[in-house]
Amino acid sequence: MLHIFLDKTKKRSFTRQIYTAIREKILSGELEAGKSLPSSRDLSRELCVARNTVLTAYDMLVSEGTVYSVAGSGFYVSSGVKCEPRSISVDDQQTASLSDFVITEKTINFDSGLPALDLFPRSKWNRTVSRAFMNAPVSALGYDDPQGRPEFRSVLCAYLKKTRGISCKPEQIIVTAGTKQGLSLAAKCLLDSRSEVWIENPSNANVKQIFSYHTEKITPFEVDAQGLQPKLFPVLGKPTLIFTTPSHQFPMGGILPMQRRVELTRFARKSGAYLLEDDYDSEFTYDAPPSNSLFELDGEHVIYLGTFSKVLFPSVRLGYLVAPLCLVPQIRELKRMADHHTNSTYQLALMQFIENGDLERHIRRMKKEYKNRRDCLLELLHTRFGEHVRIHGAAAGMHVVAEFEGAAFTGERIRRLLQSGVYVAPVENHSLTKGNHAHQIILGYAGLTTDAMARGLDLLKAELQLDTHLHPST
């Protein structure tokens, strides 16, 4: 049958509704040329209308040539009346990782959170996902464990021990839909309006926004070239939560030395605070071996956040949180209430990706490529801006901070750059003390070719109007 819905509340007659519904099915191709329509008697019985109502609708279709009748046989769809579907033009665009800026395909995108998506092994990942789905237990197709698949968490434990020095149990891991959800779960678990949060300054603006949903008591502490400075903490301070990025301070790039890590964990034990460690891109270190996590020093006062957005691709929406056991039941329940569970098939696929060594091979390849791209960006910056630019945080990660003395990166300037075809993020947007970072921008290089970086810096140079003192462009 045709599955036509008749709306009795409409002013249009049933005849008109039947005519319109069949006509749309024919024009869209749902009813193909030569296909017979139900008999008027059968359709009237199905729709609970008079037979003449259906016959009148059929006659209307015949009169316009959409349908033809064969005496003694019935009504059939005419040939040549199917309409080609109109294509919908959709620009290939992305949203910046640090803001709601929409970045079109043609824009040179210095987004710090964007890996080299064109180099991701899609075919290999697709095969892995297909196998994972076909071999998945029935439980993985239903409402799964809010904490994450137990077999994936077990493999992740071994991976974290090997790569980050983290000794934990599978029961301490909560699989999340990325770092932002991990931050939100930790905040909901620990914070209320009376809570005090200490954060690095500057720090990812998304972090402050998430915390501000729960408390207004957010205190910034300035970072230096090595990161957070525990010596600045009030001796008798009693924060509930201290947010830090010790492996690669965001955005300035400092790597926290061991002395400060010890000071930080000692302060947490003394004050009763939890340290929320965001380890967003520690896989990519170039000038020194990667440092272990804070969790290694104190698993009772550190909540560790990790993500696969940088090593796989952002839309995979896979991250994890390693928490002290005493916090796990509440965080697990918060995860259940948020979205019940993270995609089980992707968890099982990533488990295979880790077990068969594909993830580590991909990271090694990307680490080599990103180092080359970093070196290229540094050379291009030196060539175009010479002594007018100072670079911060080049030892690791997927971005650097470029400082141009005397050139303020206002909102208007960022919009002009975007209109000219280049996207950069100002450090000032991530600072709670305005004015200290007005001359600095974040330049992500992982997702850009040499040619794109060169063209982007040429546009930046034109905007800054420093031409008289610069080396000539290459």
416-454 tens-digit pLDDT:
999 999 999 999 999 998 888 999 999 999 999 999 999
**By percentage, how much of the chain surpasses pLDDT 70?**
94
Q: Which residue in this structure is represented by tokens 């000038």? A: 287
pLDDT tens, residue by residue, 38-82: 999 999 988 889 999 999 999 999 998 999 999 889 999 998 888
CB-based contact 40:51 (threshold 8 Å): yes
Q: At what angle do helices 51-63 and 14-27 cross, to 10 degrees?
A: 50
Say what the pLDDT of residue 474 is.
41
pLDDT higher than threshold 50 for residue 468: no
Say what the pLDDT of residue 94 is.
65
Say what the pLDDT of residue 458 is.
95
Say what the pLDDT of residue 204 is.
94
Question: Model's pTM, two decimal places?
Answer: 0.79
Q: Where in the chain is the domain with CATH 3.90.1150.10?
A: 93-119+360-469
pLDDT higher than threshold 90 for residue 103: no
Structure tokens at 249: 């301070």
Residue 370's φ and ψ, nearest 5 degrees, are -65, -35
Say what the pLDDT of residue 339 is.
94
Q: In this structure, which CATH number among 3.90.1150.10, 3.40.190.10, 3.40.309.10, 3.40.50.300 belongs to the domain 93-119+360-469?
A: 3.90.1150.10
Q: Where in the chain is the domain with CATH 3.40.640.10?
A: 122-356
Amino acid identity at 154:
S
Helices (H), 255-327: 258-271
pLDDT higher than threshold 80 for residue 28: yes
User: Can you tell me the mean pLDDT for 365-391?
Assistant: 96
Q: Domain 122-356 - what CATH class?
A: alpha beta
Burial 353-374 (b: 16+ CB within 10 A, else e): bbeeebbbebbeebeeebeebb
Q: Where in the chain is the domain with CATH 1.10.10.10?
A: 14-77
User: Can you tell me the mean pLDDT for 27-39?
Assistant: 90
Q: Domain 14-77 - what CATH class?
A: mainly alpha
pLDDT tens, residue by residue, 261-311: 999 999 999 999 999 999 998 899 998 777 889 999 999 999 999 999 999
pLDDT tens, residue by residue, 126-168: 999 999 999 999 999 999 999 999 999 999 999 999 999 999 9
pLDDT higher than threshold 50 for residue 466: no
